[in-house]
């Protein structure tokens, strides 16, 4: 299969972001390096050209021009990463030592890989576990039997390996899919149900115990979301909260409990569901000062496009406009319905869904972006309810082959060149044919990302400080232009 790569070809770009030999962006000479990934080609995050900006050229209406304004700064960038699920961990440990090392280097190394700096973990089981389980025995209201022993087999050692590969630090947040069955109105972890009122406090205590247990294992927890997809009745682990119920659980139980337990510095993320109801949920909680004081930001997914195939990016912008003092974080997205044929044929829609979302979400104020499973097996699992999906990397547990899909490289165009602490800057395209975003890193390098989803190559220009550079972007391609 063409997508299977060996160690030497995972990343053809070998230059550090700060290796660009340029002067500062407002000097007489502006130079840049261009990295490209193109479908059905050998270009995978490859250094394809070097450009030099020359005298400003007024774009015509027929031209495609991206205007970059480095002095117009917006949100601070937190990071890009993925979920370290049970499924990912189990698949990882079925690979050879050689491919385990290759996988970790590809994702987390900032020079040889794409430099992931963010990760999500699960609080007991989710659909991408091989079974449903909790950390307490059935009926243990006092949580006396609480134990994360289950996670010590795969997920904890996998997470530690990821942290080590990332240089010893990884911004990690946790999310639950369901409270234990005995705490819920339907007496099941699956198929929705609600948290019983009498278990609001025990469930709040559960988060605290989880954080302390993981940190005792050497895994710092930066933050947590209150509930994964709180308006979805799924056939797997799920639990329903109305906006008012989530607000009150946070306001009267979770927030005060974390503070009481010395965990008040943990970043609390509300909603953690699709963009469609994002504003309704955020406004209900953030308009209440006593609840809002505990909130770091609002999390969201991308699955609202089941309605009409149209992502609701505008809702992200609306929350950012209404609550500029709170953060936005993309907490989950994946391509559903694993299909080996689509993977083998390099269906461009798989990777381009990521590119469109990341560009639009960042331009609408998002500070951090999290993919779903970081690794899945050759079936799109394991998954205890058959909800099989795509991942950027698949590990064949029968043949010990790693498949790095175009999605992996598309994400890398952002994560490798935009580093934590960067600030988004203005980047406006004059055409819908090429969409773009741009960030300025703390070392003053600028990363401009441009994506072409058309079936034909397109020429475009970048204008910065009244200087212009001309570029070309192949059909179904993405580029990162690195400037100083």
pLDDT in tens, the chain (484 residues): 334 343 334 554 444 333 333 334 444 578 999 999 999 999 999 999 999 999 999 999 999 999 999 999 999 999 999 999 999 999 999 999 999 999 999 999 999 999 999 999 999 999 999 999 999 999 999 999 999 999 999 999 999 999 999 999 999 999 999 999 999 999 999 999 999 999 999 999 999 999 999 999 999 999 999 999 999 999 999 999 999 999 999 999 999 999 999 999 999 999 999 999 999 999 999 999 999 999 999 999 999 999 899 999 999 999 999 999 999 999 999 999 999 999 999 999 999 999 999 999 999 999 999 999 999 999 999 999 999 999 999 999 999 999 999 999 999 999 999 999 999 999 999 999 999 999 999 999 999 999 999 999 999 999 998 999 999 999 999 999 999 8
Pick from 417, 436, 464: which residue ends a domain?
Answer: 417
Active site residues: 229, 332
Task: Tell me, yes or no, whether 259 and 323 share the same domain.
Answer: yes
289 shares its domain with 199: yes
- Please report, for the domain that includes residue 342, its CATH number: 3.20.20.80
Statement to judge: residues 167 and 63 lie in one domain: no
Same-domain check for residues 92 and 211:
yes
Token couple for 374: 């970081």
**Domain shared by 412 and 434, yes or no:** no
Domain assignment of residue 130, given as a range: 78-417
| 285 and 250 in a common domain | yes
Q: Does residue 2 sit within a domain?
A: no
Which one of 417, 444, 459 terminates a domain?
Answer: 417
Between the CA of residue 29 and those of 22, 49, 52, 483, 484, what are the distances in Å? 8, 17, 7, 11, 10
Asked whether residue 14 is assigned to any structural domain, the reply reads yes
**430 and 389 in one domain?**
no
What pTM was computed for the model?
0.94
Count how many domains the chain has: 2
Write down the pLDDT at residue 28: 57
CA 14 to chain centre: 24
State whether 406 and 361 are in the same domain.
yes
pLDDT of residue 29: 73
The whole-angstrom separation of Cα 454 and Cα 116 is 28
Which of 372, 394, 417 is a domain's end point? 417
What is the per-residue pLDDT for 4?
39
Q: Is residue 285 part of a domain?
A: yes
Q: Quick one: 392 and 478 in the same domain? A: no
Same domain, 63 and 87: no
Q: For residue 383, how many other CB atoms are within 10 A of its CB?
A: 23
**1 within some domain:** no
């Amino acid at each position: 299969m063409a997508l299977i790569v060996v160690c030497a070809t995972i990343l053809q770009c070998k230059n550090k972001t700060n290796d660009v030999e340029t002067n500062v962006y407002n000097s007489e000479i502006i130079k840049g390096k261009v990295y490209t990934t193109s479908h059905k080609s050998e270009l995978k995050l490859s250094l394809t050209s070097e450009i030099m900006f020359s005298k400003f050229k007024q774009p015509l209406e027929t031209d495609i021009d991206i205007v970059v304004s480095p002095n117009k700064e917006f949100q601070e960038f937190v990071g890009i990463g993925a979920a370290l699920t049970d499924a990912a961990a189990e698949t990882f440990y079925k690979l050879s030592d050689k491919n385990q090392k290759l996988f970790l280097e590809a994702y987390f190394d900032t020079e040889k890989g794409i430099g992931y700096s963010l990760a999500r973990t699960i609080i007991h089981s989710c659909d991408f576990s091989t079974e449903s389980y909790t950390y307490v025995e059935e009926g243990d209201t006092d949580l006396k039997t609480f134990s994360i022993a289950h996670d010590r087999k795969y997920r904890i050692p996998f997470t530690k390996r990821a942290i080590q590969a990332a240089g010893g630090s990884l911004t990690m947040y946790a999310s639950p899919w369901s409270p234990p069955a005995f705490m819920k109105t339907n007496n099941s972890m699956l198929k929705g149900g609600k948290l019983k009122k009498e278990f609001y406090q025990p469930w709040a205590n559960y988060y605290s115990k989880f954080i302390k247990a993981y940190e005792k294992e050497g895994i710092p927890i930066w933050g947590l979301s209150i509930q994964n997809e709180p308006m979805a009745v799924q056939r797997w682990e799920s639990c329903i909260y109305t906006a008012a119920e989530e607000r009150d659980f946070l306001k009267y139980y979770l927030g005060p409990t974390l503070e009481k337990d010395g965990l008040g510095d943990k970043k609390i993320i509300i909603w953690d569901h699709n963009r469609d109801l994002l504003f309704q949920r955020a406004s209900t909680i953030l308009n209440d000062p006593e609840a809002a004081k505990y909130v770091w930001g609002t999390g969201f997914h991308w699955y609202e496009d089941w309605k009409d195939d149209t992502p609701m990016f505008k809702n992200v912008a609306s929350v950012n406009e209404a609550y500029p003092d709170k953060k936005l974080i993309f907490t989950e997205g994946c391509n559903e319905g694993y299909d080996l044929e689509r993977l083998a044929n390099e269906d461009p829609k798989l990777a381009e869904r990521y590119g469109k979302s990341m560009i639009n979400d960042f331009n609408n104020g998002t500070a951090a972006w999290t993919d779903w499973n970081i690794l899945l097996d050759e079936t799109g699992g394991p998954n205890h309810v058959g909800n099989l999906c795509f991942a950027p990397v698949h590990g064949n547990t029968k043949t010990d082959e790693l498949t790095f899909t175009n999605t992996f490289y598309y994400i890398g165009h952002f994560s490798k060149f935009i580093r934590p602490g960067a600030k988004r800057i203005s980047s406006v395209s004059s055409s819908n044919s090429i969409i773009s975003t741009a960030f300025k890193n703390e070392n003053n390098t600028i990363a401009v990302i441009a994506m072409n989803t058309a079936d034909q190559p397109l020429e475009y220009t970048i204008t910065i400080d009244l200087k212009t550079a001309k570029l070309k972007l192949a059909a179904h391609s993405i580029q990162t232009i690195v400037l100083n």
